Amino acid sequence: MNIEQARFNMIEQQIRPWDVLDKGVLGLLAIVRREDFVPAAYKALAFVDTEVPLPEGESMLAPRVEARMLQDLQVQRHERVLEIGAGSGFMAALLGHRAQSVISLEVKPALARLATENLRRTEVNVERMEADKMDRIADTDIAGSNEDYRADFRRDWENRYAGAGATWETYQPAYEYGYRTAGDPRYRGRDWSDVEDDLRTDYLRSNPNSTWDRMKGAVRYGWEKVTGKR
């Protein structure tokens, strides 16, 4: 396979037609070697319009989705980025070329090791992946400046779920998932009815031992609280 031709075709045939026209983004995709972040068993899929399997049941997003997210984020050079979910490290590498610095956290050990190894070969400023860091800052997205959200989510849990014996620790990830995805560029500005199927698939991929019917109320509450629909 001609690697550079495949990279060119990916940009011109997949990414540009998806309205990714930012020259800075297109330039990055031409120089950051996506194939170096794809597991060896799937190297042939590095430039294909598909999600590439990763360890622990996760996957790399399709190239056009990664590019669109990077364009929509509009990260500036003076900004510092916190990425939750490192995956293969590819998005962190792209962000590292645009931001002042990137901290990328991954709770799944196999992915943390993969991203660390991949990013070690780059020259971008991305802090080393450590799976246990997620525990130490797990409250970052909800705590601090967003303490009001955390308190509101807990009140909703007390009103709807606590009486049935369900613990806050069981439902907290669902509230926080709804909170985080409300700001995800893939879902921003859309109604719950438009995104529920996608959120269900994504949530169950990350929480295979959970059930959507049980958790979707908490996810939706977090989503609608942040989007102002509640």
Provide the pLDDT for residue 129: 53
The better pLDDT of the pair 110, 189 is held by: 110
Domain shared by 116 and 212, yes or no:
no
Task: Indicate whether 136 pLDDT > 50.
Answer: no
Provide the pLDDT for residue 135: 45
Across the range 189-199, mean pLDDT stands at: 87
d(CA 91, CA 71): 12
Task: Give the domain-ending residue among 92, 112, 135.
Answer: 135
d(CA 29, CA 4): 11
Number of domains in the chain: 2
Average of per-residue pLDDT values in the chain = 86
Provide the pLDDT for residue 9: 97
For 33, 45, 51, 52, the CA distances from 11, given in Å and listed in that order, are 13, 14, 16, 17
Q: For residue range 124-133, what is the model confidence (pLDDT) as tens digits?
A: 778 765 555 4
Task: Give the domain-ending residue among 93, 110, 135.
Answer: 135
pTM score of the predicted model: 0.60
The better pLDDT of the pair 152, 142 is held by: 152
d(CA 179, CA 172): 11
For 18, 80, 196, 220, the CA distances from 192, given in Å and listed in that order, are 23, 30, 6, 7
Task: Indicate whether 177 pLDDT > 70.
Answer: yes
Task: Indicate whether 229 pLDDT > 80.
Answer: no
Task: Indicate whether 134 pLDDT > 50.
Answer: no
Domain shared by 20 and 96, yes or no:
yes
Task: Indicate whether 200 pLDDT > 50.
Answer: yes
Provide the pLDDT for residue 186: 73
Which CATH number characterizes residue 104's domain? 3.40.50.150
Provide the pLDDT for residue 140: 41
Domain shared by 126 and 151, yes or no:
no
92 alpha-carbon distance from chain centroid: 10
Across the range 164-187, mean pLDDT stands at: 84
Domain shared by 101 and 190, yes or no:
no
Domain shared by 81 and 159, yes or no:
no
Task: Indicate whether 3 pLDDT > 50.
Answer: yes
Helix 147-160 × helix 212-227 angle, to 10°: 140
Percent of the chain with pLDDT over 70: 88
- Domain holding 14, by residue range, is 3-135
Which range among 39-48, 108-117, 124-133, 203-212 shows the weakest confidence by mean pLDDT? Answer: 124-133
d(CA 118, CA 5): 23
Domain shared by 19 and 90, yes or no:
yes
Domain shared by 18 and 95, yes or no:
yes
Across the range 74-78, mean pLDDT stands at: 89
Q: For residue range 58-68, what is the model confidence (pLDDT) as tens digits?
A: 999 999 999 99
SS (H, E, C) 75-110: CCCCCEEEEECCCCCHHHHHHHHHCCEEEEECCCHH
